[in-house]
Structure 1
Amino acid sequence: MLEQLRDEFPDVTSSKVRFLEAQGLVAPERTPAGYRLFRDEDVERLRYILTAQRDRFWPLKVIREALDALDHGRPDPGAESGQPPPSTPVSDPALLRAATLSPRGRVRVTGPELRQASGIDKPLFSALESFGLLRADATGHFAAEAVDIAVAAKRLAEHGLEPRHLRPFRTAADREIGLVDQVLATRRGNGSREERTAEILSACIALHAALVRTGLTR
């Protein structure tokens, strides 16, 4: 399977494929002994994912939505424009639906797996850690969302924004999280804590995007 992909994606590794499998983006069959069996459809699915990461700079949540569209027989959302699927508002791709803000379970990745999945190099990885953009847990692992952070940082680096410039995003995010925790402590609103958290964060992100968009149009 790797040999079929390496001509087009020289950096693809078995650990990266295992990470994509852990994220639910690809699901190869297993033999009774536990070996993975990759069909032609699985290889093509991996090729789509790797292309979306490399050429479209899509985060995993957007790739997941695109794959879901394809699985349901709908056209490739990015075939023409390379932009995110319609479920992400075209007017502002930064806006997120509450459902996309739900935790991704207990999937954790190592530093090397994070670099492989996001395509960042060691210097950028180290810089993102030093400025608090990437935070490992007590075991040295990173949450699955860290891959999206790394991909975004890589895109911004291509425009001249270094990790030291991104520190305010970490500070702002921590302040928003603190504010959300205060609101949740009031126990107002309906739904579970996870559902309320996602709804509040979705509104916070929408507010942030609207404020930035307004400022840029002055």
Structure 2
Amino acid sequence: MAVARAGGRAPELLSIGQVLARLQDDFADLTPSKLRFLEEQGLVTPERTPSGYRKFSQEHIERLRLILTLQREHYLPLKVIAELLEELDAGRDPIIPGAAPRSASTILAPRRVLSSEELRRATGASSRFLGEAIAAGLLPAAEVFPHDAVAQVTALLRLAEQGITPRHLRALRVAAEREAELIAHAVSVRGHKSGSPAGTEEALELAAHLETVRSGVLRRRLG
């Protein structure tokens, strides 16, 4: 149960949809199922309402940000992440394995954008490869890129190693744009019916549900 702060005001608690809205700019592949999985692994323990709904505090969000960053940028398995979290919970500041030297507490820096040169250094991608990804509409044609572009470019490079290049993924981009239009229409209709505008949080929650459905279809097709 949330403990009231001085002055009698309890800390803000957020739903899964609100957590996604806070984190998906930095972690585009984050879904409700992944949040539940991290909870099942004991890495984060949200509070529960009397009816069983999960509620997350700001501390939970920062913990999730740390876990997801350790996975994406340092490729650490959950067992190692759990050990780092235990050290942090004990009041220590452990050094991240393979980061010389970088402590876990420094990971929670504010999100930032990357220049194309920084993106190339972070991923090992060539200028030509980034150009191909931009031409295919998989990355924005811009001077700077959001930090989650690191994960996107890394995934594109792994796919290219197997012969799936950015030009092969144009259909994926078109499908994603159609899904965005579908979500925008659904949110607009619901907002019109309720008499109040629907926001980004609801759109992101619908996107997460679509991602769950798409992943299930893909897994079934792969047998």
TM-score by length of 1: 0.50
Q: Aligned residue for 1:32?
A: none
| 1: CA distance, partners of 2:83 / 2:172 | 34
Of 126, 130, 133, the residue aligned with 2:135 is 130
Q: How does 1:18-37 map to 2 (within 5 A)?
A: none
Of 154, 168, 186, the residue aligned with 1:165 is 168
Q: Structure 2 regions of 5+ residues with no counterpart?
A: 1-25, 27-68, 88-96, 98-109
Q: Aligned residue for 2:202?
A: 196
Q: Does the 8 A contact of 1:114 with 1:147 survive in 2?
A: yes
Q: Structure 1 regions of 5+ residues with no counterpart?
A: 1-22, 24-48, 53-57, 80-104
Q: Describe the superposition over 1:3-40 as per-residue Cα deviations: whole angstroms up to 9, x where unpaired.
A: xxxxxxxxxxxxxxxxxxxx7xxxxxxxxxxxxxxxxx
Secondary structure at 2:86 match in 1: coil
| 2: CA distance, partners of 1:150 / 1:168 | 17
| 2: CA distance, partners of 1:142 / 1:159 | 25
Q: Aligned residue for 2:125?
A: 120
| 1: CA distance, partners of 2:156 / 2:207 | 21
Of 177, 181, 185, the residue aligned with 2:184 is 181
| 2: CA distance, partners of 1:66 / 1:194 | 34
TM-score by length of 2: 0.49
Of 198, 211, 215, the residue aligned with 1:205 is 211
| 1: CA distance, partners of 2:79 / 2:200 | 25
Change (3 A) 1:112 1:208: same
| 1: CA distance, partners of 2:141 / 2:81 | 30
Of 149, 154, 174, the residue aligned with 1:151 is 154
Q: Give RMSD over aligned pairs.
A: 3.6
Q: Does the 8 A contact of 1:180 with 1:201 survive in 2?
A: yes
| 1: CA distance, partners of 2:123 / 2:79 | 18
The more displaced of 149-158 and 118-127 is 118-127
Change (3 A) 1:110 1:168: same
Identity of aligned residues (%): 27
Change (3 A) 1:73 1:158: same
| 1: CA distance, partners of 2:75 / 2:205 | 19
Q: Does the 8 A contact of 1:59 with 1:151 survive in 2?
A: no
Shift of 1:214: 1.6
Q: Describe the superposition over 1:189-218 as per-residue Cα deviations: whole angstroms up to 9, x where unpaired.
A: 9xx72332222111111111111112222x
Q: Describe the superposition over 1:112-134 as per-residue Cα deviations: whole angstroms up to 9, x where unpaired.
A: 11111222122211111111111
Whichever residue aligns with residue 172 of structure 1, its letter is A
